[in-house]
Amino acid sequence: MKGRLEGKAAVVLGCSASGGTGWAIAERLAADGARIMVAARSRAGIAALAARTGGVAQVCDVADPAQVRALAEAARAAFGAIDIAVDAAGLPVAGAIADIGDADIRAALDVNYVGPIHFIRHMAAAMNDGGAITLVSSSSAAQPMAPYFAYACAKAAMDCLVRHAALEYGSRGIRVNSVMPGPIRSDMAKGLWAVPGMEAVFAREVPLGRIGEPGDYADAVAWLSGPAFVTGLALPVSGGNQLTRSPRLDEMPPVPG
């Protein structure tokens, strides 16, 4: 039985961490039949993922517009044109408004907002009409989560970008959406969940009673990458956490060091 994405070509950026969100998304799209180009700043991880999925690896830093353009050109050279593009890159910059450095603010914007502008622009140019672009946002874009204001504000700008892109590319049938993970068992957050009691504090704010797994987000992206009649949506994939809140710092167990 053929997969629902059989014959489609996909680019997934931000998938070098084994078992992480981007990794799970790439594996799911490949399992559904898509030909895959996987990309990240580090070649080591994506080389292993490309081998697992039968895909192609391409180094790309989303914060560098020239590298994003090169990624789109490489995908066009490999596949002729693409049908699916996913940006799962993220940089969770921490710091309070009162004392965060300018370089940290700029880094948060470059990876989480400016980079996605170039990603949408270049992937749409390399994309067949009727394709799908999905960006990975964060529940913190709508629910304050200290001390990650710079990250959260950049992701909120990205969600606004999605709405504008959905209008701009709708005439070509290209759907542009984002998914908003809540608390997630990712490589980026493994240090947080290693703190005794931390996972339980976050799970209390999730109506479905647990934090998310990478496969939960892969399921959502796979659906948005198919023929879903959906565009311009920031989709919470959080087990209902969007109905509650993020824990306050004074509710969390102390983090060693």
State yes or no: cis peptide before 256, omega within 30 of 0: no
Domain boundaries, the chain: 9-182+214-239
Give the integer Cα–Cα distance in Å for 54 and 177: 26
255 falls in which pLDDT band (50, 70, 90)? confident
pLDDT tens column, 95-150: 999 999 999 999 999 999 999 999 999 999 999 999 999 999 999 999 998 899 99
So what's the pLDDT on residue 257? 64
Active site residue 151: yes
Q: What is the mean pLDDT of the chain?
A: 95
pLDDT tens column, 205-223: 999 999 999 999 999 999 9
**DSSP string covering 197-239:** THHHHHHTT-TTSS-B-HHHHHHHHHHHHTT-S--S-EEEEST
Please give the DSSP secondary-structure letter assigned to residue 110.
I
1 falls in which pLDDT band (50, 70, 90)? very low
Q: What does the pLDDT average to over 153-163?
A: 98
pLDDT tens column, 220-254: 999 999 999 999 999 999 999 999 999 998 999 98
Q: What is the number of H-type helices and E-type strands within the chain?
A: 9, 7
Proportion of the chain above pLDDT 90, given as a percent: 92
Proportion of the chain above pLDDT 70, given as a percent: 99
> Fold for domain 9-182+214-239?
Rossmann fold (3.40.50)
Catalytic residue from among 113, 148, 151, 169? 151
So what's the pLDDT on residue 187? 78
Q: What is the pTM (predicted TM-score) of this model?
A: 0.96
Q: What does the pLDDT average to over 59-70?
A: 98
Expressed in angstroms, the distance from the first to the final Cα of the chain is: 52
